[in-house]
A and B are shown apart, each in its own frame.
Chain A
Amino acid sequence: MKCNECQENLSAIIDGEIAASLIPATLAHAGTCRECQQFLVAMQEGRAQLRAAAPREVPPALVATPDWRMRESRAPLTLSLIEKIRETLNRHLQVPVPLAASIALFCMLVAASATYWWLGSTRSTVQQEPTIVYMLELPPIEVHTTPGQ
């Protein structure tokens, strides 16, 4: 076992986060290697000092509870709508948000296509009416031209 590998295992051993099968070989190497022993001592010292330096209480600025009502009034309408949709999807339908968004987009595309098709068919119906009127007006024109010949 190389020193680097041994030291990485020692780091995991002191955290209790190593596979049991790796412990004997690691300890065997560390027992004979001065460099790894020194690393273990330095690491444990640093660890103890770091833990001792951790803040034990919050500063005065964080003692008071935030004003949640203020946040409520600041929450934009669109955000709350999105949250409500997400909540509904999560709680009742168990549908992931990306899938739901894809389905919603597909539905919107279908609706847009249907609307476009419907408007197109309506427009063509409206355009046919003047043609019928024009044809109805043709016979009087023919009546006026006949005496001139």
Chain B
Amino acid sequence: MLEHDKQDSPLDGLRRRDHAAFTCVYQRYRLKIYRYCSGLLSGDARANDAVQETFLKLYNAAPSFNQEAALKTWLYTVARNEVRMVWRRDRHQVVDDMTTIAAEDSAASGLDRQETTFMIWEALGHLIPEHREVLVLREFEEMSYDEIACILHLSLTAVKSRIFKARRALATRLAPMMEERGAP
């Protein structure tokens, strides 16, 4: 089993700047990083740019990775920095762009789910970045508190507290929307 894992690990390939290894890593992590970026940014084009820039930066930094966990943390950290750069660049577009993903999601789903998705994205877009960040990592990526603490450079207690506050803020945002829609 160990031997199998060793053979499958793309880290050796990354250190050699093997393009096949980069492609393997890209295919393995692109959806995760996209979910993270789109959760924070929402705008499709901007999230795409952040994802692409993250993986292109990987090309330069790849030789320094020794463990897969370091690679994963690194990818999320760089993606986070890219998102912050976008936030600084155009702060006022966040909520408007939130609707993009919800609208695109409608293709494969019913109207009810589309509305719910729209509400969720809108509520998420109104949260402060710190709350949005922990919710995306916890609910979209299903990361443990340890992993979140590592990526955000927080203590476990701080992560626990921030997730609670984020959930409370989201529930507060969603409650009037649900009432308007007539949900129980």
In this complex, what residue of B is CB-closest to A18?
Answer: B160
> Is B93 located at the chain interface by the 8 A CB criterion?
no
Identify which of A45, A53, A79 gathers the most chain B CB atoms within 10 Å of its CB.
Answer: A53
Return A27 CB to nearest CB of chain B, in Å.
Answer: 16
Contact between chains at B164 and A54 (CB < 8 Å): no
Return A16 CB to nearest CB of chain B, in Å.
Answer: 9
Contact between chains at A17 and B145 (CB < 8 Å): yes
Q: Give Cα A10 to B31, complex, Å.
A: 30
> Is A37 located at the chain interface by the 8 A CB criterion?
no
Given contacts A66-B55, A69-B19, 19 further A-B contacts (CB under 8 A): A8-B160, A11-B163, A11-B167, A12-B160, A12-B163, A17-B160, A39-B171, A42-B175, A45-B171, A46-B171, A53-B105, A55-B140, A57-B31, A61-B48, A65-B27, A68-B19, A71-B60, A72-B59, A83-B61
Q: Given the known A-B contacts A53-B116, A65-B26, A68-B22, are A43 and B34 also in contact in the complex, defined by CB atoms under 8 Å?
A: no
> Is B91 located at the chain interface by the 8 A CB criterion?
no
Contact between chains at B116 and A49 (CB < 8 Å): yes
Contact between chains at B160 and A90 (CB < 8 Å): no
In this complex, what residue of A is CB-closest to B47?
Answer: A59
Q: Which residues of A contact B45 (CB under 8 A)?
A: 61
Contact between chains at A66 and B26 (CB < 8 Å): yes
Q: Which residues of B contact A12 (CB under 8 A)?
A: 145, 160, 163-164
Contact between chains at A86 and B63 (CB < 8 Å): yes
> Is B81 located at the chain interface by the 8 A CB criterion?
no
Number of A-B contacts (CB under 8 A): 121
Contact between chains at A62 and B138 (CB < 8 Å): no
Count residues of A near B (Cβ-Cβ below 8 Å).
38
Contact between chains at B117 and A46 (CB < 8 Å): no
Residues of B within 8 A of A (CB): 15, 17, 19, 22-23, 26-27, 30-31, 34-35, 38-39, 44-45, 48, 51-52, 55-56, 59-61, 63-64, 66, 101-102, 104-105, 113, 116-117, 119-121, 124, 135, 138-140, 144-145, 160-161, 163-164, 167-168, 170-171, 174-175
In this complex, what residue of A is CB-closest to B174?
Answer: A46
A-B contact pairs, 24 of them (CB 8 A): A8-B160, A8-B161, A11-B160, A11-B167, A12-B163, A15-B138, A43-B171, A45-B171, A46-B167, A50-B170, A51-B139, A52-B116, A53-B105, A62-B51, A66-B22, A66-B26, A68-B17, A68-B19, A68-B23, A75-B60, A83-B60, A83-B61, A86-B63, A90-B64
Q: Which residues of B contact A15 (CB under 8 A)?
A: 138, 145, 163
Contact between chains at B56 and A71 (CB < 8 Å): yes
In this complex, what residue of B is CB-closest to A14?
Answer: B167
Return A84 CB to nearest CB of chain B, in Å.
Answer: 8
